[in-house]
Amino acid sequence: MLNKRDILWQIYSAKAFYFLGGFGFTSWASLIPFLKRKLQIPDDHLGFLLLAVGLGALIMMMLAGSIAGRLGCRRSLTAAGLSIAVVLNVLCYVPAYTAALLVAVLLGSSLGLLDVVVNINGIFIERKVRKRLMSGMQAMWSLGNFAGAAFFALLLQFRLPWQGVALAGAVLIAACVFFFSPHLHSERNESRGGSHFVRPKGTIVFIGLICTISFLVEGSINDWSGVFMTTEKGIDISQSGLGLTLFTASAFLSRLTGDSLTMHIGPRRLLAFSLPIAFVGFLGILLISGGPLLFASYVLIGIGCANTVPVFYSLLGTQKEMPIADAVAAVSTIGYVGILLAPAVLGFIGRVFSLTISFTLVTVLLIIMTVMAMRLLGKFEV
């Protein structure tokens, strides 16, 4: 029987691994320009390197549920975290582009495994303490994204070699893994997946589609807001990143309060209130030509979208159609397909028509997602 102190350490450790996931993704992104220069990778070949990471992550996400079922969350997350630390450094010394592709697949696999299992671990902790924790835990992923970018930028300012900065980041990741992993959820989770991906069933498919649209909505801001602001709104390039900054900051703060709000008013009421706020934000960036109100629209989008994915990941812990490990793996895989395809699809629409049309499509998808979310949460009577 776990005492209160043990439970608190499990929560702290779960949040630490969310932080490491965000830190790891941003660390990889920070290395891309240096790898491009070192290996003299042409722009068209760089896309294949990015695709290799995505492919590795997608394949591992399909298998992560069965891996967590066999090894348990503690061993799976420990292996994923240490693998990220090692592979990030190996990437710095690969001698050729072909080798970089192979190592990138390994890095994507490690990141994909951590991405799925950290959510499985979080759901089991929520069930154990019977409290909503998912929004706060996923906020730590956002904090890890910010910290990773700041860590690399700060150390590079001291003129450290980029390989040395990557090593420092890997040491930090490994130290956190060794410190926090002993406190992770250790039981092996049930899974019927064997060594194969389990095809999701009814409710799980709908949750996966809702999360896919939510990832796409957030991804549209991450990938295209800067270009949209300069080309469609005429904003100076020096201010093009301000909208994204406001979006990420407001989403992070909203997730910090999301668990408390969910427990007080319920997830259905929370999303019934927050998703229309996101809709108003998208109307703002579509209709407002400039000024403070345009930037305030990004704050509304961040507030409105922040808690959708946490709410539905928590819902996976209450459904009875699939084992939790398999359900999380299925939803993560469906959602990640959307993440991989969305930038290219929105970019294609933007080139053929305009980015305004792309963001209009995203707004329509947001409305569809809102309807789906309300209907599904209504069935669960939460």
- Which bin fits 200, alpha (ψ -120 to 50), beta or left (φ > 0)? beta
| pLDDT score at 381 | 60
Percent of the chain with pLDDT over 90: 41
Report for 27-31, 89-93, 334-338: range of highest mean pLDDT: 89-93
Read off the pLDDT of each residue in 19-48 and give the average, rounded to a whole number.
Answer: 85
Is the pLDDT higher at 245 or at 111?
111
Residues 6+ apart with CB under 8 A from 203: 319, 321, 376
Q: What is the set of domains in the chain, with CATH numbers? A: 4-183 (1.20.1250.20), 202-380 (1.20.1250.20)
Rg from Cα positions in the chain: 20
Phi, psi of 181 (to 5 degrees): -60, -35
CA angle (344, 350, 351) in 5-degree steps = 90
Confidence check: pLDDT of 145 > 80: yes
33: which residues sit within 8 A by CB, 6+ positions away? none
Report pTM: 0.84
Residue type (1 letter), 362: V
Summarised one tens digit per residue, pLDDT across range 352-364 is: 888 899 899 999 9
Does the pLDDT of residue 331 top 60, yes or no?
yes
Rounded to an integer, what distance in angstroms lies between the CA atom of residue 60 and that of residue 8? 30
Can you tell me the mean pLDDT for 131-147?
88
What pLDDT is recorded for position 81?
96
The mean pLDDT value of the chain amounts to 87
| 43-47, 171-175, 195-199, 236-240: which is most confident | 171-175
Q: What is the pLDDT of residue 382?
A: 47
Residue identified by tokens 């329509």 is: 364
Query: pLDDT tens digit string along 157-193?
Result: 888 899 999 999 999 999 999 999 998 876 655 555 5
Tell the residue number behind the tokens 């963001």, with chain if given: 359
Which residues are CB-contacts of 94 (< 8 A; sequence separation ≥ 6)? Answer: 39, 100, 103
How is residue 220 written in tokens?
A: 């549209």
**Do residues 66 and 193 make contact, with C-beta atoms less than 8 angstroms apart?**
yes
Q: First-to-last CA distance in the chain?
A: 29
